[in-house]
């Protein structure tokens, strides 16, 4: 592992709201914004950095002020209510803003009031238990996700909390009404319809077929969905899986079954190198008892530096690197090693069967995640 030289400039990374007495850690200047962004995603609160001058900025350099109170009850307009009342096949497309605005209960209320299916982008994984009748699928990762996820058959798309980086493929496949996440609960009180069946979209059925076929395999190299199944089994009860963009990030975002929000994070930005390790550091500082796994495609200089930050804080970080040249493991071997890795920390590598990606592409088209919208 490389060492940080004594000439490396440092700043204090302030985690949490400014001036609230949050812990302070000195880290290399260029890593501070990454840790602040990881804090925002893991903790659900803004974080800032400063260079010892008392001026706290967000990761982009903008001066950060204490977050003002937000009215999270925003009644919908009569026009929005009328649009829903006139729709016979409405579908919700939800993004990470629903989580960020603490609007998941409002979304649940609206889905129940209108017997709505909800398609979520990967930044909103977990807004419904994967077994819920309202959960249609996670979308935005492949070219045909939105088409096959039910939007092409809808007569109204209720779009809420979207991040354009997670909606790079065309999704306006039917008339759209955009609803603020803070209006979802109030909308549920003004509109509803008798209980109806919610059709399982072709996307969910197709992805499930490939995913579950991988679950049934046990030999080496492991199917990617067998690896993510192990992640869900060992971290799904309150743990955290964080992956960087890339091959491993695709499989985590695509196939790791979620039962609640906050258990799986894969960033939308294509340049989020080091995000998984930064998130593991943030989580470990605030809750050392929570099991966390950082999933990467490889180790580079930035990863080495983040591991040094973790070591300086006496954090035992668990890292699994997806590498084609890793020593093959069967299912039992991987499951047992993963349990030890989570208990003791450290770095391990796993090889996966690349042919399963072709099967996913046959279902939903090429991977489009981490590309800029057209």
Give the residue range(s) of CATH 3.40.50.1220 domains in the chain.
Answer: 78-199
> In the chain, where does the domain assigned CATH 3.40.50.970 lie?
218-352
Say which CATH class 78-199 falls into: alpha beta
Q: Which two tokens stand for residue 224?
A: 């990617």
Q: Are 291 and 315 in contact (CB under 8 A)?
A: no
b/e code 15-54 from CB counts within 10 Å (16+ = b): bbbbeeebeebebbeebbbbbbbbbbbbbeebbbbbeeee
How confident is the model at residue 84, as a pLDDT?
97
Report whether pLDDT(92) > 90.
Answer: yes
d(C-alpha 245, C-alpha 257), whole Å? 18
Provide the mean pLDDT of the chain: 90
Q: Rounded mean pLDDT of 203-227?
A: 97
User: Dihedrals φ, ψ of 117, to 5°?
Assistant: -85, 145
The answer on pLDDT for 25 being more than 80 is no
Please enumerate in sequence order all residues whose Cβ is within 8 A of that of 336, keeping only pairs 6 or more positions apart, or say none. none
Fold (CATH) for 218-352: Rossmann fold (3.40.50)
Respond yes or no on whether the N-terminal peptide bond of residue 367 is cis (omega within 30° of 0). no
Query: What are 103-132's pLDDT values in tens digits?
Result: 999 999 999 999 999 999 999 999 999 999
pLDDT in tens, 316-332: 999 999 999 999 999 99
- Pull the structure tokens for residue 102: 């603490």
Residue 2 pLDDT > 50: no
Task: Extract the runs of DSSP E, i.e. beta strands, from the chain.
Answer: 10-14, 24-28, 48-50, 90-94, 117-121, 135-139, 156-160, 176-178, 240-243, 264-265, 292-296, 318-322, 346-350
Q: How high is the pLDDT of residue 212?
A: 97
Least confident of 7-21, 50-64, 115-129: 7-21
Q: Tell me the angle at which helices 247-255 and 224-235 cross, rounded to the nearest 10 degrees.
A: 60
- Number of residues in the chain: 374
């Amino acid at each position: 592992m490389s060492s940080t030289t004594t000439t490396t400039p440092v700043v204090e990374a302030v985690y949490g709201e400014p001036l609230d007495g949050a812990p302070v850690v000195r880290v290399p200047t260029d890593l501070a914004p990454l840790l602040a962004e990881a804090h925002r995603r893991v903790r659900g609160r803004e974080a800032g950095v400063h260079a010892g001058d008392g001026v706290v900025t967000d990761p982009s350099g903008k001066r950060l002020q204490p977050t003002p109170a937000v009215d999270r009850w925003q009644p919908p307009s009569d026009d929005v209510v009328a649009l829903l009342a006139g729709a016979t096949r409405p579908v919700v497309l939800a993004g990470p803003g629903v989580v960020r605005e603490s609007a998941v209960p409002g979304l649940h209320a609206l889905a129940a009031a209108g017997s709505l299916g909800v398609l979520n982008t990967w930044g909103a994984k977990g807004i419904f238990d994967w077994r819920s009748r309202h959960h249609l699928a996670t979308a935005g990762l492949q070219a045909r996700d939105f088409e096959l996820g039910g939007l092409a058959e809808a007569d109204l798309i209720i779009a809420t909390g979207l991040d354009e980086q997670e909606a790079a493929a065309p999704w306006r496949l039917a008339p759209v009404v955009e609803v603020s996440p803070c209006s979802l609960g109030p909308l549920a009180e003004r509109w509803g319809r008798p209980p109806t069946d919610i059709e399982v979209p072709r996307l969910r059925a197709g992805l499930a077929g490939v995913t579950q076929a991988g679950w049934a395999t046990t030999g080496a190299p492991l199917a990617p969905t067998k690896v993510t199944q192990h992640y869900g089994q060992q971290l799904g009860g309150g743990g955290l899986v964080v992956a960087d963009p890339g091959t491993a990030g695709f499989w985590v975002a695509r196939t790791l079954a979620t039962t609640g929000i906050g258990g799986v994070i894969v960033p939308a930005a294509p340049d989020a190198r080091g995000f998984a390790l930064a998130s593991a550091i943030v989580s470990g500082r605030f809750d050392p008892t929570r099991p966390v796994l950082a999933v990467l495609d490889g180790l580079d200089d930035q990863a080495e530096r983040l591991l040094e930050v973790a070591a300086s804080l006496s954090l035992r970080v668990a890292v699994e690197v997806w590498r084609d040249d890793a020593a093959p493991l069967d299912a039992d071997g991987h499951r047992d090693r993963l349990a030890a890795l989570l208990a003791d920390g450290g770095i391990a590598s796993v090889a996966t069967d690349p042919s399963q990606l072709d099967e996913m592409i046959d279902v939903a088209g090429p991977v489009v995640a981490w590309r800029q919208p057209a």
